[in-house]
Structure 1
């Protein structure tokens, strides 16, 4: 008997059944993720110039490479 036949014939693998998660349990996490995404999009895409909430260049410099990577102009 070959090695692969021996290995498959002597082992049994238990497969776990997936757990159903109700939509009500996912909704708060989906809202949180959407809010976090919008805030991050604001800071990467619009935190500069007249729309700036934080004065100075610190936020701009922190997200500068990310702006260019995502295609936002900043110069």
Structure 2
């Protein structure tokens, strides 16, 4: 048993490579715009601010609207 302990080598832990900001920034902006668009459709796509006529979008996001605390009726 002591031979097994003596023969083990110390392996340094792997560290992740840093990702440059200029590679993350376009994806972060894109994700932010998609999230804002989703927030609009869930929270405000109804009535006077409606971009799409009819109740299709409202009915599609109805449960999500209540889950996030937006009133709709």
Normalised to the residue count of structure 1, the TM-score between the two structures is 0.80
- Structure 2 unaligned runs (5+)? none
**Structure 1 unaligned regions, length at least 5:** 2-8
Q: Deviations over 1:1-29 (max 9, x none)?
A: 8xxxxxxx598877422111000100001
Other structure's SS at 1:37 match: helix
In angstroms, what is the RMSD of aligned CA positions? 2.0
In the alignment of these two chains, the number of paired residues is 68
- Which portions of structure 1, spanning 4 or more consecutive aligned residues, are displaced by more than 6 angstroms? 10-14
Q: 1:20 aligns with which of 18, 21, 39?
A: 18
Residue of structure 1 equivalent to 2:44 = 46
